[in-house]
């Protein structure tokens, strides 16, 4: 860990020896995006290497799809927890 100063004089702490946080649904999100682009006849790796508007549009659509599905999953989870009296 070390502290650096920005031009504005504020301090920023860097924790380079700290492991990055793992999002609990990150793998599911990745799988949803991969499945969406596969349904459109592409691979995620292929689209990530392209820089054309069609690739960017498809990636944005896949991201929106995954976000919607994750919201549905989280809402169902909260509902089930409420049914069973869990916080």
CB-based contact 32:66 (threshold 8 Å)? yes
- Report the SS3 class of residue 29: helix
pLDDT at residue 8 in the model: 61
Strand segments (E) across the chain: 2-5, 11-14
Tell me the mean pLDDT in the region 15-20: 62
End-to-end CA separation in angstroms for the chain: 36
Tell me the pairing of strands 11-14 and 2-5: antiparallel
Tell me the mean pLDDT in the region 15-43: 86
Whether the model pTM is above 0.85:
no
């Amino acid at each position: 860990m070390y502290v650096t100063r920005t031009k504005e004089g504020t301090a920023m702490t860097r924790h380079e020896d700290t492991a990055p946080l793992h999002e609990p649904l990150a793998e599911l999100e990745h799988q949803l995006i991969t499945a969406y682009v596969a349904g459109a006849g592409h691979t995620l790796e292929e689209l990530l290497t392209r820089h054309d508007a069609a690739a960017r549009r498809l990636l944005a659509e896949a991201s929106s799809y995954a976000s919607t599905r994750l919201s549905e999953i989280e809402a169902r989870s909260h509902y089930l927890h409420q049914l069973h009296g869990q916080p």
